[in-house]
C-alpha cells in the first residue's frame, strides 16, 4: 500500500485532482468529508463543540450551524485551536479505520487541506500539491462558489503560502490553466509514479540510479534533501539522532549524479534494525545485499552500517544509517563540509568524477565508476582531516 498526501489551497482544484485519481483506481480518504462526518447530528464530536462554544452552534434541525461556528473561530486563532482539538483527533481515527480497510495493493490518497499547515508532510511517502495562481483561485471562489471577494482573499491569506507548499511538495501540479492539462498531469502521475511506487513499496524493491551520468547542479537538490531528511526523521522517531543530506548533491554548485544521499544517525545498529520497518513504510526499502560502507577510505577496515534505497521511481535516494560518532558517520559529514569550503578540492573532485564518467558513464554497473574515484578519496582523506583540525570543524547536520 502507498499512502499519498494530497493538498492545495482553497480554489486550487485539489478536489478535481482527487476525483481523477479515484477514477484511475485510487482509494480516497477525504479529510473535509470526514470533518463533517465526525461532527454530524447526534455525534460525540458535535456534543463536544456545543459544550465548548455554546448552544448557539446548533441549527434548528439539530445539526451543526456552520455559519455560527465560522463566525466564532475564523478570526480567533485560540478558538480555532480549540475546535481543531475536537475535530482533528476524530478525523485521524476515522482516516486510520478507512486506510486499514483498503486493499493491500491500494494507492490511498489522503486529501488533507491543511496538510502543510499541520506539518503532516513528513508522515507520507509522497506529497502532491495542486497549485493555481492566487488571482485564479479568487476568481473561482467568487464565480463558482458565490463567495464574496473579500472572504475569498481572507481565506487564501489564512492558509499556507506557495513557498511553504513548494517545500512540502514531492509533486507540484499546476492547475492555473486548462482543466484538461491537470487531468493529463494526474494521469501521468498515476501511471509513471504512483502505481510503480506502490508496487516497489509492497515488494520492498528499490529503484536504481542507472548509468552514472553527471548533471548540472539543480537548485532543487537542497529542498529535496531537506524534505527527505524530515521524512526519515519522522519515521525514525526517538531512535534517530539526526538526519543529514550528504554526498555531492549536498555541495552547492557541484555537478553530480541526480541522487540524494542521506545519513541517519543512530546510537547503535540495533536501533537501525529497530527502525527498519518504519523506514520501509515511508518509501525506503532495506538493501541487505549492500550493507557495506562505501564512504570510507579504500583499504581501511569495514565500517558497519545499514543501507536503504528508494522505492519512489521519481527520486533516487541512498539512505545510509550509521552509528553517531563512528568513522563512517564522521567521514560522510567531513567530506561534504570540506568540499563546500574548499574550491580547489571541489575542482579536483569534479575532474575525477568527469574522468570516471568518461570511462563508465554508459555502464549501468556503477561500481567501476566508484573504483575510478577511490584513489583520489584515499589521498584526499588526510587533507580533509587537516582542514578539519585547522578550521575547528565539528560534525553538523546542516
Residue-wise pLDDT tens digits, 224-249: 999 999 999 999 999 999 999 999 99
| Residues near 193 by beta carbon (within 8 Å), at least 6 away in sequence | 126, 171, 312, 313, 314
Residues 162, 244 share a domain:
no
**Strand, helix or coil for residue 259:** strand
pLDDT at 302: 58
Query: Are residues 21 and 147 both part of a single domain?
Result: yes
CB 198 within 8 A of CB 107: yes
Q: Flag whether 300 is in a domain.
A: yes
11 annotated ligand binder: yes
3-state secondary structure of 54: coil
The pLDDT score that the predictor gives to residue 292 is 55
Give pLDDT, residue 151: 87
Q: Is residue 209 part of a domain?
A: no
Q: Which residues pair with 2 in a beta bridge?
A: 107
| Of 170, 202, 234, the domain-final residue | 202
Do residues 224 and 259 make contact, with C-beta atoms less than 8 angstroms apart?
no
Q: Which distant-in-sequence residues (6+ apart) come within 8 Å of 129 by Cβ?
A: 7, 8, 116, 165, 166, 168, 169, 171, 172, 173
Is 206 annotated as contributing to ligand binding? Answer: no
Which of 145, 170, 202 is at the close of a domain? 202
pLDDT at residue number 291: 58
Pair 322, 228 in one domain = yes
546510537: which residue's cell? Answer: 267
User: Per the domain annotation, does 207 fall within a domain?
Assistant: no
What is the predicted pLDDT for the residue at 185? 96
CATH number of the domain enclosing 361: 3.30.460.10
On whether both 164 and 263 belong to a single domain, the answer is no
Q: Are residues 92 and 63 part of one domain?
A: yes
| Residue 4 burial class via C-beta count within 10 angstroms: exposed 0-12, middle 13-18, buried 19 and up | buried
pTM here? Answer: 0.89
| Domain co-membership, 303 together with 258 | yes
* pLDDT at residue 276, as a whole number: 96
Residues 66 and 176 in one domain: yes
Indicate the number of domains in the chain: 2
Distance CA 224, CA 209 (A): 16
- Continuous segment of H or E residues that includes residue 27: strand 27-30
pLDDT at 343: 96
Please give the C-alpha separations between residue 354 and each of 214, 215, 374, in angstroms, as whole numbers.
Answer: 8, 11, 14
The pairing of strands 259-266 and 316-323 is parallel
* Residue 208 located in a structural domain: no
Give the Cα-Cα-Cα angle 370, 372, 374 (nearest 5 degrees): 70
Q: Is 378 exposed, middle or buried (0-12, 13-18, 19+ CB in 10 A)?
A: middle
For residue 212, being part of any structural domain is answered with no
Instruction: Check whether 176 is labelled as a binding-site residue.
Output: no
Q: Does residue 397 sit within a domain? A: no
Same domain, 150 and 276: no
Q: At what angle do helices 179-189 and 14-24 cross, to 10 degrees?
A: 50
**310 annotated as ligand-binding:** no
Give 14-62 pLDDT, tens digit per residue: 999 999 999 999 999 999 899 999 999 999 999 999 998 888 889 888 8
Binding residue per annotation — 16?
yes
CATH value at residue 134: 3.40.50.300
Q: Which among 143, 175, 202 is the end of a domain?
A: 202
- SS3 label, residue 207: coil
Range of the domain at 82: 2-202
Q: What pLDDT, on a 0 to 100 scale, did the predictor assign at position 295?
A: 47
For residue 161, tell me if it sits in a domain: yes
pLDDT score of 317: 96
Residue 370 lies in a domain: yes
**386 and 320 part of one domain:** yes
For residues 64 and 141, membership in a common domain is answered with yes
Averaged in consecutive runs of 10 residues, what is the pLDDT profile of the chain (398 residues)?
95 93 96 92 92 87 88 84 91 93 96 92 97 91 90 88 94 92 96 97 90 91 97 97 97 95 96 96 90 50 82 95 94 96 95 87 74 86 95 91
Q: Domain check: are 384 and 295 in the same one?
A: yes
238 with 364, same domain: the answer is yes
Amino acid at each position: 500500500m502507498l499512502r499519498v498526501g494530497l493538498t492545495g489551497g482553497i480554489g486550487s482544484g485539489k478536489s478535481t485532482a482527487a476525483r481523477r485519481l479515484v477514477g484511475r483506481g485510487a482509494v480516497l480518504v477525504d479529510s473535509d468529508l470526514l470533518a463533517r462526518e465526525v461532527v454530524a447530528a447526534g455525534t460525540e464530536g458535535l456534543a463536544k463543540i456545543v459544550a465548548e462554544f455554546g448552544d448557539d452552534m446548533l441549527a434548528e434541525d439539530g445539526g451543526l450551524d456552520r455559519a455560527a461556528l465560522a463566525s466564532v473561530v475564523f478570526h480567533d486563532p485560540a478558538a480555532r485551536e480549540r475546535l481543531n482539538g475536537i475535530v482533528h483527533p476524530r478525523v485521524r481515527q476515522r482516516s486510520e479505520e478507512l486506510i486499514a480497510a483498503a486493499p493491500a495493493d491500494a494507492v490511498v490518497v489522503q486529501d488533507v487541506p491543511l496538510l502543510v499547515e499541520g506539518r503532516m508532510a513528513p508522515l507520507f511517502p509522497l506529497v502532491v500539491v495542486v497549485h493555481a495562481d492566487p488571482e485564479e483561485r479568487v476568481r473561482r471562489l467568487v464565480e463558482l462558489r458565490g463567495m464574496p471577494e473579500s472572504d475569498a482573499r481572507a481565506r487564501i491569506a489564512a492558509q499556507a503560502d506557495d513557498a511553504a507548499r513548494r517545500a512540502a511538495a514531492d509533486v507540484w501540479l499546476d492547475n492555473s490553466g486548462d482543466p484538461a492539462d491537470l487531468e493529463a498531469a494526474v494521469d501521468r502521475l498515476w501511471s509513471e509514479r504512483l502505481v510503480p511506487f506502490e508496487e516497489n513499496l509492497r515488494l520492498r524493491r528499490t529503484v536504481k540510479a542507472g548509468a552514472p551520468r553527471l548533471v548540472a547542479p539543480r537548485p532543487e537538490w537542497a529542498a529535496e534533501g531537506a524534505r527527505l531528511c524530515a521524512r526519515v526523521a519522522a519515521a525514525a522517531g526517538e531512535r534517530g539522532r539526526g538526519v543529514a543530506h550528504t554526498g555531492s548533491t549536498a555541495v552547492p554548485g557541484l555537478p553530480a549524479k541526480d541522487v540524494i544521499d542521506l545519513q541517519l544517525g543512530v546510537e547503535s545498529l540495533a536501533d537501525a534494525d529497530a527502525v527498519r520497518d518504519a523506514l520501509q513504510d515511508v518509501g525506503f526499502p532495506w538493501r541487505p545485499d549492500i550493507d557495506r560502507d562505501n564512504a570510507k577510505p579504500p583499504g581501511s577496515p569495514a565500517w558497519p552500517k545499514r543501507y536503504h534505497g528508494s522505492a519512489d521511481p521519481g527520486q533516487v535516494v541512498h539512505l545510509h544509517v550509521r552509528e553517531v560518532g563512528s568513522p563512517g558517520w564522521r567521514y560522510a559529514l567531513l567530506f561534504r563540509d570540506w568540499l563546500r569550503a574548499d574550491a580547489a578540492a571541489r575542482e579536483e573532485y569534479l575532474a575525477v568524477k568527469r574522468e570516471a564518467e568518461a570511462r563508465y558513464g554508459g555502464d549501468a554497473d556503477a561500481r567501476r565508476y566508484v573504483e575510478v574515484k577511490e584513489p583520489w578519496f584515499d589521498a584526499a582523506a588526510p587533507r580533509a582531516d587537516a582542514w578539519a583540525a585547522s578550521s575547528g570543524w565539528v560534525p553538523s547536520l546542516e
